[in-house]
Amino acid sequence: MLRTWIIPIWLGLMTGVGLISALLGDGIWDALSWLALAVPVALCIYYWARSTKRPSRKGLVNRRDAEDRLRDERRLRR
Amino acid sequence: MHRHRHLRIWDAVHRWSSLTCTIFLLLLCLTGLPLIFHDEIGRVTQPRIHVDEITGNTRAASLDRVIEVAVSQHPTLHPLFASHEPHEPRVWYVTLASVNGDKLEQVAVDARSANILGKPHIGPQGVMGVIHSLHVDLFAGLKGKLFLGFMGMLFFASIVSGVVLYAPFVRHREFGAIRRSSGARSRWLDLHNLLGIATLLWAGVVAFTGVINTTSDLLLSQWRSQMLSQLKIPAETHPEKVPAQVILENALDHLRGGAISFIAFPGSSFAGDSIWGVYARGNSALTSRLVRPILLDARSGNIVSERPLPWYLMLLLLSEPLHFGDYGGLPLKILWAALDALTIVILVSGVYLWVVRKRPRRAAPMNLRKPAQGAA
């Protein structure tokens, strides 16, 4: 449960800092806001770009997907 | 199976609140994109107001003279507001309107020489004007605003329900893991979940502040009538006897620090029928947004109220920057645009996921029909 939420919570904190700090002041506060808000944007772009690459030849990703599918099927049968 | 039913309800909330508002949200996101940069676009398309350096006598001209000069440019209109841009007290922007409020004009006047510096356009013009209307009220005035506000509330509901659905959908997978070889639907479902959870707080704040902004007309008129009823000054129209300069000086005497943001003339939306409103802004980044009103009797020039704005107008004043993203320079605007673009991807992928959904319901009636045919 915690593992699922730890990164989303951290991203939420970053966004919150980014939204508020530029309101509080100029200069360094603006810069802090840019850095903090860039985190969720950069993360989206990173993971999206990673997903458009062809699956690796070693089959690592395929195997992981297959494991996922197996687990889902098992859960459905239960 | 209580938990299962719970999720089915949230799933239905997410599906139907999203589908209802998606087309309007798509419009809001697409029109919002250029509006983020409307200052930058305006700087290119509008002539710049150039302020000359005056050496020697730099005393301020009387506000009455400034108003007189502005009215001489538009003799059929009457003045509503006189305002300063932040950090530029050398220019008065006088806003004038026709009696029915259809026509609005602005004149920039040098606050020292009372020379005319220019006639800036009010609000976005041309293509930007169309984009602005599509974003704000769909060309339908208050009704259009409130309709878009309702769509914003549905979007907010879809964000909340989306968060509830996030955990059961990504369980057992690493954050950001996107299935690549289980078909396009799985891949887009994972992307939809990832982008949704990463932009969650931003989208929530922009949706919430957007909804608040749609109620600005209502909040303002509520405050105006409340304020006037509390002042216990008969709301009769009197010819203003006290010169504007005296009003300004009386208000300035009362201001310790801070600067004038704008002056609302009697009869305008930020003042009473015989009440002047002088609005001061603070010097810090936050207090420069939260104006403080000083209300003055138009007949005596005395200050009648200095009470701060009520909480709901403070909320409205804070909702503007948090919706527009115009409070942290160009880099913040670029990030705002990037988050807006990601929201467009979430909306479109959401519709896609619904279109190519697995359809258990279509299969069910066919299965039911078989035994019925067999029985016949």
The CA-based diameter of chain A, rounded to the nearest angstrom, is: 58
Instruction: Choose among B201, B197, B206, B190: nearest CA to B352.
Output: B190
The stretches in chain B having pLDDT less than 50 are 362-376
Whether residues B173 and B105 fall in one domain:
no
Residue B346 contacts residue B195 (beta carbons within 8 Å):
yes
* Cβ separation B285–A25 shorter than 8 A: yes
Other C-beta atoms closer than 10 Å to the C-beta of B10 total 17
Q: What pLDDT, in 10s, does the model give residues A34-44?
A: 999 999 999 99
Q: Tell me the ipTM for this assembly.
A: 0.83
| Cα distance between residue B42 and residue B36, in whole Å | 11
Q: Which residue of B has its CA nearest to A2?
A: B167
**Is B171 in the same domain as B294?**
no
Q: Which of B164, B202, B283 to mutate to test the interface with A (most CBs of A within 10 A)?
A: B202
| B342/A contact by beta carbon, under 8 A | yes
Amino acid B170: pLDDT: 83
CB atoms within 10 A of CB B262: 20
pLDDT band for position A56 (50/70/90)? Answer: low
Both B83 and B102 in one domain: the answer is: yes
DSSP reduced 3-state for B290:
coil
Q: Does A63 touch chain B (CB under 8 A)?
A: no
Is there a contact between B88 and B94 (Cβ–Cβ < 8 Å)?
no
User: pLDDT per residue over A9-25, tens digit each?
Assistant: 999 999 999 999 999 98
DSSP B312-365: HHHHHHHHHHHHH--SSHHHHHHHHHHHHHHHHHHHHHHHHHHHT---HHHHHH
pLDDT tens-place string over residues B317-329: 999 999 999 999 9
Over the stretch B59-104, which tens digit does the pLDDT of each residue have? 788 999 999 999 999 999 999 999 998 888 889 999 999 887 778 8
The confidence score (pLDDT) of residue B352 equals 95
Residue numbers of B between 183 and 222 with CB closer than 8 Å to A: 187, 190-191, 194-195, 197-202, 205
Same domain, B113 and B138: no
Whether residue B142 is found in the same domain as residue B115: no
Neighbour tally for B226: CB within 10 Å? 11
Count of domains observed in chain B: 2
CA distances from B57 to B54, B60, B117, B317 (A): 7, 9, 18, 37
Residue B48 is predicted with a pLDDT of 77
Determine the 3-state secondary structure of B300 from DSSP: coil
Domain boundary residue, one of B260, B280, B298: B298
CA distance B315 to chain A (A): 14
Based on the fold, state whether residues B293 and B259 are members of the same structural domain.
yes
Q: Which residue range(s) make up the domain with B334? A: 2-40+129-214+326-362
Q: How far is A77 from chain B (nearest CA, A)?
A: 15
Co-location of B141 and B90 in the same domain: no
B74 has a chain A CB within 8 A of its CB = no
Question: How far apart are the C-alpha atoms of B71 and B196, rounded to whole Å?
Answer: 52
Q: How many CB pairs under 8 A join A and B?
A: 109
Whole-prediction pTM: 0.84
Judgement on whether residues B133 and B201 belong to the same structural domain of the protein: yes
**Beta-carbon contacts of residue B285 (< 8 Å; ≥ 6 apart):** A22, A23, A24, A25, A26, A29, B327
Task: Evaluate whether residue B331 is within a structural domain.
Answer: yes
Among candidate residues B298, B315, B343, the one where a domain is terminated: B298
Give the residue on A whose Cα is nearest the Cα of B321.
A23
Q: What is the pLDDT of residue B306?
A: 87
Same domain, B182 and B286: no
Chain B partners within 8 Å of A47 (Cβ): 176, 178, 194
CA distance B238 to B275: 10
Q: Which residue is it, tokens 């639907």?
A: B185
Q: Considering its fold, how many domains does chain A have in total? A: 1
* Domain-embedded: residue B149: yes
Mutate to test the interface with B, among A2, A6, A19 (most CBs of B within 10 A): A19
- Overall size of chain B counted in residues: 376
**B-chain residue closest to A37, CA distance:** B335
Domain range for A71: 2-77
